[in-house]
Amino acid sequence: MKLALLIWLLAAIVQDGRERRVRNGFVLTGAALALLAVALDLQPFGLRGPEVLLGGAVAFGGLLCFYAFGLMGAGDVKFAGALGLWVGMQPLLPIWVVASLLAGLHGLLWLVLQRWHVAPRLALALSGRPGDHGRRPRPIPLAAYLAVATIAFMASGLGT
C-alpha cells in the first residue's frame, strides 16, 4: 500500500500544482484507501485503527482554524485529514513544518516576482489560476507541499 500512497501523493502534487485545488472525490479516495489499508492490515507504517483515526482528526482539526480565518482553502484541510489517516499523528508536526517552509518560500518568491518583474513566466506559474466563481485566488498549493513533505518523510525511512 506504500505504492498506493505514493501515487496518491504524486497525483495531489500535480492536481494542486496545476489547479490550486484538491477535489473532494480525490480526497475521499485517499481517505478510503487509507482506511482500507488498516482494515486489510496493509497499513504502510504499521498503524492501527485508533492511531490513524487520531492522525486524521488532528490533521483536519489542526488546519480547520486556518480555513476558518480564510488563510487556506477547504481542500487543503480535507487533504490534511486524509493524509493524517495515512501517516497517523506522530509525523504530522514535521510534515507540517516542512510543508509550511516550502509554502512560505513559494509565497516569498511570488511576492518578490510580483514586485520586480525579472521572470514574469515564473511569477505567473507561482500565482496559479485566478479564483473561479468569485473565489479568492489561492497562489500557494499547500496540499502539494504537504504531499512533498510526506514523500520526504517516507524517503527518510523514519516511518518504518
Task: Report which of 113, 90, 105, 94 is spatially closest to residue 141, judged by C-alpha positions.
Answer: 105
Residues in contact with 63: Cβ distance below 8 Å, sequence separation at least 6, in sequence order: 72, 76, 77, 80, 81
Average pLDDT score over residue span 117-142: 63
pLDDT at residue 26 in the model: 97
How many domains are contained in the chain?
A: 1
pTM above the 0.85 mark? yes
Residue range(s) defining the domain that contains residue 57: 2-156
Report d(CA 143, CA 80) in Å as an integer. Answer: 7
Name, in order, each residue with C-beta under 8 angstroms of 122's C-beta and a sequence gap of 6 or more: 109, 113
Please state, in angstroms and rounded to a whole number, the distance separating the CA atoms of residues 114 and 120: 8
Cα–Cα distance, 11 to 89 (Å, whole number): 22
| Res. 127: pLDDT tops 90 | no
At residue 131, the pLDDT reads 47
| pLDDT (average), residues 21-26 | 94
